[in-house]
A and B are shown apart, each in its own frame.
Chain A
Amino acid sequence: MATAGEKGIGRLFVIAVPYLWLLVLFLVPFLIVLKISLSQDVIAQPPYAPLLDLSQGWAGFVDFLSQLNFDNYVYVLDWNNEFLDAYGSSLIIAAVSTVLLLLVGYPIAYAMARAPRTLQPTLLMLVILPFWTSFLIRVYAWIGILSQDGLLNQALQALGLIDAPLEILNTDLAVYIGIVYSYLPFMVLPLYAALEKLDGTLLEAAEDLGCPPMRAFWLVTFPLSLPGVAAGCLLCFIPAVGEFVIPDLLGGSDTLMIGKSLWTEFTVNRSWTASSAVAVLLLIVLVVPIVIYQNIQARQLEAGK
């Protein structure tokens, strides 16, 4: 009996660590942001009210609750204030980028999984290699490549392919290029993990039963790589929605993304409360695909594969 109890405590401890981590580093900060989003701007330090005054005890808490209001949400969700446009455009940019990433990443992952075993660790290293340089520097480098007199335009003009320099920098196209470039490893790695596991004799069996290789890919390889596709898409889509650096550096003034709006609201308009509301709404928007993903995963786990 005593040992069972000890075991229970041991198990509790093992489970408690990650939960404690999530509690301290995710849930508590989120609650703080949520609280700020339900407050009002004041010219003070910090620039919002109400504050939770714990020295007042229960009465203080009730007072605090009564002062919470949803004005910031009304403000953010007002069609006149561009936030809804920014949410929409962020989702579209992230979705398009994810599709592009899948189109670029799948062949890369496939080729890696099909490469000779001895070569695969090297290829894996090459995919991860860009992480050795700061993300910011790599995005800045794209300015040098994409600008009017940048490397790309110089090269295309030298080859005689174009007469006038292409305007790529400060457009949505530059944002797509930046996102696809930066997020590619997050797409390739889960796809590679899924494709590498694939049993080659399954393709032989398909061919043996009269299925040409191309069709075997769609009937066997692709369905079996779907968990990797789902993981890669979510790993790219979720951070891409909130992306700030890439649209800020590569996008134009009319590139509307929620990360940029949040930044403007926070630094230029100095409204902590409204920017917190933007952040809370963004989280809610992203929770939906995460829940869908977990549903898929749970179902696959149930199916045993």
Chain B
Amino acid sequence: MAKTRTQTIGAVRRTFSPWTDATATPLIRFENVVKRFGAFTAVNNVSLDIYEREFFALLGPSGCGKTTLMRMLAGFEDPTEGRITLAGQDLSGVPPYRRPVNMMFQSYALFPHMSVADNIAFGPKQAGMAKADIDARVEEMLTLVKLESFAKRKPHQLSGGQRQRVALARSLATRPKVLLLDEPLGALDKKLREETQFELMDLQMELGMTFLIVTHDQEEAMTVADRIAVMNHGVLVQVDPPAAIYEQPATKYVADFIGDVNIVECVVDGCFGGDLRLSTPITPHPLQIAQGDAGGVKTGDKVWLAIRPEKLRISLEAPDAAAGNCFAGEIFDIGYLGDLSVYHVELPCGTRIKVSQPNLSRMVERPISWEDKVYVTFTPHAGVVLSR
């Protein structure tokens, strides 16, 4: 059952990419939106298109303006500059209660004087639904968030994670066109979070809603989102599908923010078609990197080479010269994470490189140990050259 669902999601998702289609009209448009609080600029010149049925994730460090961006879309803040449109309609001056946008608040904002069921029924009641339909909807939402037996409780009688689920159910109950989720699953344990993620994706697909989700959990963003926007200091740094964000980060910042990465400062020695030769003080040998279109860098430029730890290979024997790029160093630390181990390799110049290797066997004695002399190798396609 779960498998068929995942398969349908996969089938739809493989072909869902309206952002590459020049003729597609976005559902939500941020046009040069700026938000200032006094002299502080919380959101700085954001232009962003979000398409119908898209599951869009906002990632970024605390205080970078994610909530502010959502609050402008929900109608609680007015943009200082620029405009926001929804299905072609300019939203400026439209009060929150007239926008087909619901928000799940970061602080939940559950009504303390109402029971769980009444909290969930609040939206449908305002929409003027019939009593029987409201009851059915509440029931359905309670089942979705697995709180069937808590309908009569007041919010203060619930745990943090249960409250979060009530807030989620409440925001979903009116089936809004656009749902804004501000860290919807942060308080849930890993298992429940993963289940709820799939439930959300399912629901989104089934009801054809557009989701905008804020999360601090990259894995979650990668799992649920069609596209991810990485924000920093109120600016959108990169907007791309998860794989592109991970494998083709636009800047050092994105590479560093999403997942683990080794960043090595280099100078371009020469360009040969799409391939680059880089020299770096951390190794005497030049590095060969395949960079498709060379990314507009030229000989003599200062660049950064970003390589993910899992794309490096580690060995105790010296590789032959044909194996490609190579660093020699010494094991400084080993982090055992169960499914994989992370080796911290210290190079002679003092730089440390992280290498992760899957633990393929159940051997308790690892062949590589502290203070071993090791060689780290990688192919020309393993890293990406960044100029910012």
Contact = CB atoms under 8 A, between A and B. Distances in A.
Contact of A204 (B105, B113, B154): B105
A202 B111 contact: yes
B174 A209 contact: yes
A305 B113 contact: yes
B123 A210 contact: yes
A177 interface: no
A224 B112 contact: yes
B111 A303 contact: no
Given A210-B123, A224-B113, A304 B97 contact: no
A304 B174 contact: no
Nearest to B122: A209
A223 B95 CA distance: 23
B186 interface: no
B170 A209 contact: yes
A215 B76 CA distance: 17
A215 B101 CA distance: 19
A8 interface: no
Chief secondary structure at chain A's binding surface: helix
A223 B154 CA distance: 14
Contacts of A204: 76, 96, 105, 109
A144 to B, nearest CB: 46
B160 to A, nearest CB: 15
A208 to B, nearest CB: 5
A209 B156 contact: no
Nearest to B112: A305
Contacts of A201: 105, 107, 109
User: Which of B76, B105, B109: most chain A Cβ within 10 A?
Assistant: B109
A213 B96 CA distance: 10
B113 A223 contact: yes
Contacts, number: 65
Contacts of A210: 97, 123, 126-127, 174
A153 to B, nearest CB: 46
Interface in B95-145: 95-97, 101-103, 105, 107, 109-113, 122-123, 126-127
A211 B97 contact: yes
A220 interface: yes
Contacts of A206: 111, 122
B111 A208 contact: no
B318 to A, nearest CB: 62
A212 interface: yes
Contacts of A167: none
A203 to B, nearest CB: 9
Contacts of B123: 209-210
A217 to B, nearest CB: 13
A297 to B, nearest CB: 15
A120 B170 CA distance: 34
Contacts of A78: none
B154 A303 contact: yes
Contact of B109 (A202, A213, A219, A305): A202
Given A201-B107, A303-B154, A207 B97 contact: yes
Contact of B97 (A202, A208, A303, A305): A208
A199 interface: yes
Interface string B74-87: 11100000000000
Nearest to A300: B113
B157 interface: yes
User: Which of A199, A208, A223, A304: most chain B Cβ within 10 A?
Assistant: A208
Given A204-B76, A207-B96, A208-B103, A199 B126 contact: no
User: Which of A210, A213, A224: most chain B Cβ within 10 A?
Assistant: A210
Contacts of B113: 223-224, 305
A281 to B, nearest CB: 38
Contacts of A219: 122
Contacts of A223: 113
B303 to A, nearest CB: 46
27 contacts: A199-B107, A199-B109, A201-B107, A201-B109, A202-B111, A202-B112, A204-B96, A205-B111, A206-B111, A207-B95, A207-B96, A207-B97, A208-B74, A208-B102, A208-B103, A209-B102, A209-B126, A209-B174, A210-B97, A210-B123, A211-B97, A211-B122, A215-B126, A219-B122, A224-B112, A305-B113, A305-B154
Interface of A: 199, 201-202, 204-213, 215, 219-220, 223-224, 303-305
Closest 7 CB pairs of A and B: A209-B123, A210-B126, A205-B109, A201-B109, A207-B96, A304-B156, A207-B97
